Amino acid sequence: MFEKLAQIEKSYDELTEQISQPEFMSDMSAYAKLMKQHRSLGEIVEKYREVRKMQEGLQGARDLAAAADADDEMREMAALEIAEIEERLPAVEEELKVLLIPKDPYDEKNVILEIRAGTGGDEATLFAAEILRMYARYAEMQGWKMDVMEASDNGMGGIKDAVALIEGDAVYSKMRFESGVHRVQRVPQTETQGRIHTSAITVAVLPEAEEVDVQINNNDLRIDTFCSSGPGGQSVNTTYSAVRITHMPTGVVVSMQDEKSQIKNREKAMRVLRARLQELEEQKQHDAQSAERKSMVGSGDRSEKIRTYNFKENRVTDHRIGMTVHQLNLVMEGQLADFIDALQTNYQAEKIKAEAIAA
């Protein structure tokens, strides 16, 4: 492992030298990629150097404790240092192992977030709107930018479905675990008997695909334009600015009418289309590796119930890791960090276990 780390450190130092050269600033796209790679390696190198420093300190303290000319006070100081380092070192080494886990190539990607109301009628649409707001709050806390590109409301404050783009630092690495069925248990406002109803929505988190990731043949697309419409079918504008793109080989259809410009709607629709086509391709590969997939914090499949929100008990339960918190009110305000951190930790532990078995 330390040979590999020494090579990583060498690569990091070479990258540090590269990005300090003025000529690299001329190509901002290449420069941005180099900076991202430098930042990623930097985390590993920093932790590696911390481990190495602690190991050197531990050896130095042991040598001092064993030195023939050391007095009692020196030996006592050495013993305290040995105890302190031996207590901290395993945790730091574990952090280093986590950093060495091969990263998902999509971890740094922005995401396309899709929310759809499921069983439960109007109550499901209201919950879908609340979940969309929850993610908007979480994105804000993370310093990300969230743009709701498309939302189909029901005229009662709920949404039947919505598509949003979330842009920022390592969005997919945190949002990836939100894919699946989210279930709500509460008494609807229209319920006169006070009975608790159960409704559900589905969430899909797709890594945004670049043009280089997904090649789309324009001959495979059917593009229709139509007038945008708002709630109740009222005309939003009288120009054909709304766009519907059909990818004929797969039957995937994307509609976009958020912008007044047809060109902008088409650009947004293509971003969503690329993400969905990439998901289809990924699904084929995932199906071939379903056993491994299911061992990693659930499959992330949209048909899988991942979380239950019980309003009466102010309780949220994540069924994949058996985690329950009684702060539903805070969770709905975007405070998802405890769940996402726990899911990431569990995922990393499973990956380390899988790596150890493979080795």
312: which DSSP letter? T
Look at residue 27 in the predicted model and tell me its pLDDT.
73
Q: Along the chain (359 residues), what's the average pLDDT of each consecutive run of 10 residues?
A: 84 86 73 79 91 94 88 91 94 85 80 91 92 96 93 85 92 92 87 81 88 79 80 51 90 87 88 88 66 44 79 95 95 95 86 69
166: which DSSP letter? E
Look at residue 83 in the predicted model and tell me its pLDDT.
95
The C-alpha atoms of residue 186 and residue 181 are separated, in whole angstroms, by 16
Q: Are 139 and 145 in contact (CB under 8 A)?
A: yes
Give the length of the chain: 359
The span from the first CA to the last CA of the chain, in angstroms, equals 12
Look at residue 355 in the predicted model and tell me its pLDDT.
66
Look at residue 294 in the predicted model and tell me its pLDDT.
47
Residue 333: is it exposed, middle or buried by C-beta count within 10 angstroms (0-12/13-18/19+)? middle
Phi, psi at residue 222, to the nearest 5°? -115, 120
Record the pTM.
0.68
Compute how many other C-beta atoms are within 10 angstroms of the C-beta atom of residue 131. 23
Look at residue 288 in the predicted model and tell me its pLDDT.
58
